[in-house]
Amino acid sequence: MTQIPLPELALVALIGVSSSGKTTFAARHFGAYEVLSSDHFRALVSGSEHTLDANEAAFSSLYHVAARRLERGLLTVVDATSVRAEDRRRLVDLARAHDVLPVAIVLDLPRSVLDARHEARLDRPFSGAVIGRQQTDLRRSLRGLSREGFRHVWTLRSVDDVETTQVTRVP
Ligand code: GTP
């Protein structure tokens, strides 16, 4: 079982392809106001989680709220795929600008699990090929996360691991 001793003063990037379970994991381990979800921000600025041309407005709003929280010393969790280096760099820069630790929790599940979940979902109107592209980006990223600036990296590689992980807060 994976134990995650999470520093209280942290910006947590939940990293994983669509359907890897980021939102479910976030709801299980963090408070509603601690989690900033890109889907939620897309919906706030455009009326729907799926408006892809709302990405810029959604993410600039998300980063703005994250910055306001971090300047108060509030633990903040970003629930977005973050499979591309440029997306993660924004998060590392934001954490550094506020003197908090950037940490990564990666949900790297087998493709068969992701495909089955994607098939079962009615709320993700894109093709399964998107999952494959995101997973390729993710797998290329894994070894470099510490070098990118994440001070702690936890990688969860199976459904069982994700479901049994315990998160504790450490001062
Ligand atoms: P996106 O919002 O598309 O990026 O997905 P996500 O990574 O936030 O995944 P989400 O938490 O929305 O979960 C996707 C689906 O996977 C859910 O509808 C659940 O059915 C299933 N799921 C998520 N987490 C778990 C888990 O820990 N165990 C099991 N058995 N199923 C899960």
Give residue-wise pLDDT tens across range 68-86: 999 999 999 999 999 999 9
8 Å CB contact between 81 and 136: no
* pLDDT of res. 1: 87
Kindly report the protein residue whose alpha carbon is nearest to atom 30 of ligand 1. Answer: 159
- Determine the atom of ligand 1 nearest the C-alpha atom of 28: 27
- Determine the atom of ligand 1 nearest the C-alpha atom of 123: 3
Cα distance from N-terminal residue to C-terminal residue, the chain = 22
Confidence of residue 125 (pLDDT cuts 50, 70, 90): confident
Whether residue 126 is predicted with pLDDT greater than 90 in this model: the reply is no
* pLDDT of res. 89: 98
Kindly report the protein residue whose alpha carbon is nearest to atom 24 of ligand 1. Answer: 21
ipTM of the complex: 0.94
* pLDDT of res. 46: 98
Confidence of residue 107 (pLDDT cuts 50, 70, 90): very high
Q: Is the pTM of this model over 0.95?
A: yes
Token pair belonging to 157: 């590689």
Task: Tell me the C-alpha distance between 63 and 26, whole Å.
Answer: 18
Ligand 1 neighbours (beta carbon < 6 A):
16, 18-24, 39, 81, 117, 121, 124, 159, 162-163
Token pair belonging to 123: 């709320």
Task: Tell me the C-alpha distance between 114 and 124, whole Å.
Answer: 12
DSSP string, 104-122: EEEE---HHHHHHHHHH-S
Which DSSP category does 18 fall into?
Answer: T
